[in-house]
Structure 1
Amino acid sequence: MEPLALEDTLTLKQSAAWKDWEKELPFIHPTELKSASYNLLEFPNLNMKIIVWNVRGANRDEFIPQAMDIIATHKPSNFIVLEAKSNGIRAKNVSKLLGFDGLQFIDPNDTRGGIWILYKPTVKLILYDDDRKNYFHALFKFNPNNKEVLLTGVHAPLTRAVDRHRFWRQIRENLPPDDTPWMMVEDLNEVMSQADKMGGRGFRQSQCKDMRMLVDAACLVDLGYNGNPYTWHNAREGAANIRERLDRALANPSWLNTFPNTMVTHLPRTFSDHNPLLITLFNLHIAGNYPFRCKMAWLDHDEFKDYFVNNWNDGNRDFLAGRANFLNSIKNWNENIFGNIIKHKKRLIAIINGIQLSLSKHFSNFLFQLGKDIIRDLNCIYHAEKIIWAQKAGLDWRKYGDCNTKYFHYFAKFKKSRGRILCLQDNNNNLVDDQFALKELARNYFINIFTSTASLDQKLMKSFSYPKTIDETSLNSIIASPST
């Protein structure tokens, strides 16, 4: 038996408190949830939604009302059922009851597995492949104006670790093209770090080696989550309770470019021992005024030092005036002197192509040297582009200098999508998702925090004790008086 990890000791300390959970969390009847004291928030219907749920058997009668409730609340366009443990006849009947017109399914292997994918007529299924028992590939057209996206549903083998390792290697050997937006929703049946686990044996790096190799090979990123950090538990009490994050959504850079604001929410666990995943695709573009950021690539430009000195510290203005003058003029310098890197790169590549075509017909020493100089300039452009995207990604480009620009671009997209506020709750407990209303709500919130009232100022003034003043004659008499 392996020794307990630091995280496992928390369960020992809290085991006594968990025995009294009924005292801390009394039972609330469903009818009472409609009262003012238990106001349930209704999330706005935003864009497209996908539900992924390991139900541990869809044959049970309790599954239908639970699924209907989730669908009525969140209105998903796709509903993926993992470990259905049911055949196609049951899948067709359930699909009609739940209001889905489209259905694809994978039959279970004896009493294990089985995957259903249900979808609305608003999405179009282009291609479908389920050669394997544990996963499927479905190419969907979510929007007529967007390109096709690949959705992969995975239920990893449960019994033996060697089967999971072989399973991940099979997927890694058949990756989709890089330019295809790809999201993989899955029940890993294993964790990827100690942070994904609470209780039980400690995490070992070797247990997810092949899974991590798949993630690295496909440049997949974990889309994160909102809500409960664990998606599975073993339904035991006290120190025997084990919780793990087995279910997650992974996406490649092309998916992040198409749906940069994809959000994953862990819904409450009610029927199965797994939490359902709600995946919301926010296909929106938010434009606005962004704060000034000094680009590190400017420091490598030959003219930036002279420009900085002349526009900030010319000896005739103070610090604040120099700063204001620099900020007012830097945009014009960035556009006209530093230039658009992408356009400049395309122009240099076109010139290089023309020079090489000309040299293929007759040699010219001038063109040969000019080509070398332009290639040198192009390499400087690539270097500057790498620095810019590394700065946007929040990474040290010197530390990750062997990585290409696409690596930094990928992390910058992910960082931008994770830091965006899409919804807030106002003082009346209403959820606000309009971008202009969000800005006004945030602005008013901080105004209320940092604005003081007159009544408060008067109370503070009265609480202060000011020293009494004396005239010059009294001060002289005090000084002249003998000390005792």
Structure 2
Amino acid sequence: MALDDCRLNNLRYIDRWFTWERGRFLSTNIRERLDRGVATLNWVNLCLRYQLEHLNHSFSDHCPILLDTMGKQRDFSCHKEKSFRFKAKWCSEDSFKEEIRRNWNDISGSVSNKLGRLGQQLQRWNRYRAREYKKNHVNFEERINCLYIQDSTDEILAEITYIQLGLNLKAEQEEIFWEQRAHVNWLKYGDKNTSYFHKVVIQRQLRDQIKELKGRMVKELPQMKRCSRLLRISLVSCFRLRIWVQMNVFLD
């Protein structure tokens, strides 16, 4: 009813038909299309090249849905050389420590020279790992898409679970990367009088607000006077209880 009132229509999609899956064995496996993209006709006419994808999921029941308004037609020709930056997600790579140890032992000269050369080697290693990551990710995606169009069996569902485990590991590495990027943004802009700083402060203030107090007689946040009284009673009770416990320990 709400979709009709708002004149929203289902958007066409690519890849698998379902967006929700539960059950790792054939006897318990259920697939449904619970999530979908909708838009008005005016929006569709505005974004004629849109593309809606049902992406592969890892251990969530729901598949991510990606709406690309440009239809993947972008210009990626603009690239520039970036200075060396350490990436926290490297620490999750099994070969990272060995890469540092091998290059450090092979490089001669002063410490500053060795650090500079090591940074260059790590950049090359990172580009190689990025290509390998992309290649493996594509292979995972192609393999899991191939498995999903086959008739389900316990063996196929087991292989899907194994591939989802690999995709989940890659997702954790990406999460580490974006957490580090958020921290860098705070160090870069946090001390400046910028809109970024104010947005972060406002978010923290909202998160730190006391919205409810739990007491014997209080179910909701009371008025300021009652709130102060409740806090004072709670603190006095905790202090008296601690004194009573210490006295008992001393007397024993």
Classify the TM-score, shorter chain.
0.3 to 0.5
Q: Considering fraction of residues, name the structure with more helix.
A: 2
Q: TM-score, normalized by length of structure 2?
A: 0.38
Q: Considering fraction of residues, name the structure with more strand.
A: 1
**Rg (Cα) greater in structure:** 1
